[in-house]
């Protein structure tokens, strides 16, 4: 698997070393950011515990902090 990822990243012109784990992490983070329930992500990743899957929430929470509550916005 690592060879396939390495070959694909080289062909794509990506200079940084890419690993299967990086792709897995990105996939899970994007799912979470798009609103996928963490229990579904847990199942997709094959985690026995949601504690393991919760690692991805720390990354996603950074993006959630920029969300503004529409009720707090002033009406013009």
Rounded CA separation 34/44 (Å): 15
Q: Give residue 25's domain range.
A: 2-63
In a domain, 74, yes or no: no
Write out the two tokens for 23.
């792709």
Is residue 60 predicted with pLDDT exceeding 70? no
Give the pLDDT score at 56: 74
Whether 69 is in a domain gets the answer no
pLDDT value of residue 68: 72
Q: Is residue 70 part of a domain?
A: no
Q: How many domains does the chain have?
A: 1
The pLDDT tens digits for 1-56 are 888 888 888 898 988 888 888 888 888 888 888 888 888 999 999 999 888 888 77
**Would you say residue 51 lies in a domain?**
yes
The pTM (predicted TM-score) of the whole model is 0.64
In a domain, residue 73? The reply is: no
Question: Using CA atoms, how far apart are residues 66 and 40, in angstroms rounded to an integer?
Answer: 25
Please give the structure tokens belonging to residue 63.
């993006």
Q: Which two tokens stand for residue 25?
A: 């992490």
């Amino acid at each position: 698997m690592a060879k396939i990822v390495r070959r694909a990243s080289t062909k794509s012109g990506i200079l940084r070393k890419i690993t299967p784990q990086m792709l897995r992490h990105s996939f899970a983070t994007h799912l979470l950011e798009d609103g996928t329930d963490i229990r579904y992500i847990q199942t997709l990743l094959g985690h026995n515990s949601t504690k393991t899957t919760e690692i991805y929430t720390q990354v996603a929470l950074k993006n959630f902090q920029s969300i503004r509550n529409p009720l707090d916005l002033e009406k013009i």
